Amino acid sequence: MIITIRDQVSSEERSQLAALLCQVTGNQRPAFATTIEEREVIVLDSSQLDAQVCSTISELSAVEGIVHIHTPYQLVSKTFKADRSSVQVGDASSSQPVIIGGSAAPVVIAGPCAVESREQLLETAQAVKAAGAQILRGGAFKPRTSPYQFQGLGLEGLHLLAEARELTGLPVITEVMEPEMVEPVAEYADILQIGSRNMQNFPLLFAAGRNSQHRAIMLKRGFAATIDEWLLAAEYIVSAGNPNVILCERGIRSFDTHTRNLLDLACIPLLRELTHLPVIVDPSHGTGRRELVPTMSRAGIAAGADGLILEVHHDPNSALCDGRQSITPEQLQSVVHETRIMNELLGRKALLV
Ligand code: PEP
Ligand code: MN
């Protein structure tokens, strides 16, 4: 249930509402207050509240209205907000702003899996820009399966990403793995990535909602997460105060070993029914094989994605991370070109209904 608060409500009216909510929830379930499109709202799980209680809440003078939403996720649901959300990435002072979602054309995000060195990042960043991609990716903190694998350059990687942004004007996206690092990463990054392995790291989701200065957050689907679990993870971020969430389908675990993951493209039209949040596709992690990336990029755009995130390396065979699935800058150029053609061919409006 989402309660919209009236403008210019007095502190007594506020206390009256707070007291009633404490009483009806028995203080056992948190009610979240946040601001969505300049409207103050309170969200709570109303599954155990009877109709009489709901009507008492709606009669309080602090309350403008109540929206009943019959899914566990609330603020991210299409029932709450029918228009598709868009997220602005980058600010004109340090990079070229880019819009993801809404009715904007699909965006291509590209770059190395990991920032490996200054030379590697700057060379790739320039190639990414020349290929026509609009946002640069690069992991500074890498969540690696083995403790013996390259773990990323850490803070030095963040400095290099800022330098690459300065050089190219491209906004940058990088992963954050710990709640305490949300603030420092938000100092450098235009988009904070929450990786598949951390999709249900609740303290991290909460910190991304609270401490990211409203930077865009790209939330990757956990590799064994249902769509509802994924949307509830997004709900954690939005309810904690940051509405700028972008979902990223990056493949889920399957029984077949030919591909690294099973790219669930059916979730894209499905998510358009369930949520107003933008959705992008990651065919690199979704397939694990560079030869499949161009085809699955086209398929992602055809399914209605708001963009792609692609791993690119100038010498994929020497990459310190995910070289097998990294395409070359030349291949990126053709994916960017095909993305534009697919979008024109299909007509954005047709995909958005
Ligand atoms: C990545 O983007 O390099 C990454 C680690 O992705 P995921 O969390 O989807 O595995
Ligand atoms: Mn990777």
Q: DSSP secondary structure string, 121-190?
A: HHHHHHHHHHTT-SEEE-BSS---SSTTS----THHHHHHHHHHHHHH---EEEE--SGGGHHHHHHH-S
Q: How far is the CA of 173 from the centre of ligand 1 (A)?
A: 12
Looking at the fold, whether 339 and 221 belong to one and the same domain comes out as yes
Ligand nearest to the CA of 144: 1
The three-class DSSP label of residue 23 is helix
The predicted model scores a pTM of 0.96
Looking at the fold, whether 52 and 177 belong to one and the same domain comes out as no
User: What pLDDT is attached to residue 201?
Assistant: 98
Is 72 part of any domain?
Answer: no
Residue 346: CB atoms within 10 A of its CB come to 14
Is 352 part of any domain?
Answer: no
Total count of domains within the chain:
2
Q: How far is the CA of 285 from the centre of ligand 2 (A)?
A: 6
Q: Which conformational region is residue 61 in: left (phi greater than 0), alpha (psi within -120 to 50 degrees), or beta?
A: alpha
Atom of ligand 1 nearest to the CA of 193: 2
Is 181 part of any domain?
Answer: yes
Q: How far is the CA of 251 from the centre of ligand 2 (A)?
A: 12
Atom of ligand 1 nearest to the CA of 322: 3
User: What pLDDT is attached to residue 33?
Assistant: 84
- Containing structural domain, residue 41: 2-67
Ligand 1 pocket test: pick from 199, 247, 282, 309 the residue with the most ligand atoms within 8 Å of its Cβ.
Answer: 282
User: What pLDDT is attached to residue 350?
Assistant: 58
CA distances from 74 to 38, 44, 62, 216, 221 (A): 17, 9, 21, 19, 18
Q: Which residue's alpha carbon is at the smallest distance from atom 2 of ligand 1?
A: 113
Looking at the fold, whether 123 and 218 belong to one and the same domain comes out as yes
Q: How far is the CA of 185 from the centre of ligand 1 (A)?
A: 17
User: What pLDDT is attached to residue 315?
Assistant: 96
Cα atoms found within 13 Å of the Cα of residue 48, Cβ hemisphere only: 7
Atom of ligand 1 nearest to the CA of 220: 9
Q: Give backbone dihedrals phi and psi of 190, rounded to 5 degrees, phi first.
A: -85, -30
User: What pLDDT is attached to residue 75?
Assistant: 96
Instruction: Please identify every stretch of the chain with a pLDDT value under 50, giving residue numbers as ranges.
Output: none
Q: How far is the CA of 168 from the centre of ligand 2 (A)?
A: 22
Residue 179 sits in a domain whose CATH number is: 3.20.20.70
Is 132 part of any domain?
Answer: yes
In the numeric block, the tokens 């596709």 are attached to 281
Looking at the fold, whether 233 and 193 belong to one and the same domain comes out as yes
